[in-house]
């Protein structure tokens, strides 16, 4: 079993924060996305989701190529 590194944990935290912002926006405004509010909630949702997914993807790719038997 492989250890989960700090980059994967940071990526998961960023994705979780992005999801929390989406649910906060859903509770406050009653919808997931609002184009009139694009500079507030949606901007941060996109940043957190993108950063989290990129960190998790690079962690998986690095782990796969660093620990491959070749």
Q: What is the pTM assigned to this prediction?
A: 0.77
Q: What is the pLDDT of residues 47-58, one digit of tens each?
A: 999 999 999 999
Q: How many other C-beta atoms lie within 10 A of the C-beta of residue 25?
A: 20
Supply 23's token pair: 């649910």
How many Cα atoms sit within 13 Å of 47 on the Cβ side?
8
Q: What is the pLDDT of residues 1-44, one digit of tens each?
A: 567 788 889 999 999 999 998 888 888 878 777 777 677 777 88
Distance of alpha carbon 12 from its chain centroid, rounded? 6
Q: Which has the closest alpha carbon to 25: 35, 12, 10, 13?
A: 35
């Amino acid at each position: 079993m492989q250890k989960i590194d700090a980059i994967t944990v940071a990526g998961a935290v960023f994705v979780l924060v992005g999801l929390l912002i989406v649910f906060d926006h859903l509770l406050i405004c009653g919808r997931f996305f609002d184009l009139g509010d694009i500079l507030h909630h949606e901007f941060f949702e996109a940043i957190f989701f993108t950063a989290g997914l990129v960190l998790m993807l690079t962690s998986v790719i690095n782990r796969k190529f660093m620990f491959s038997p070749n």
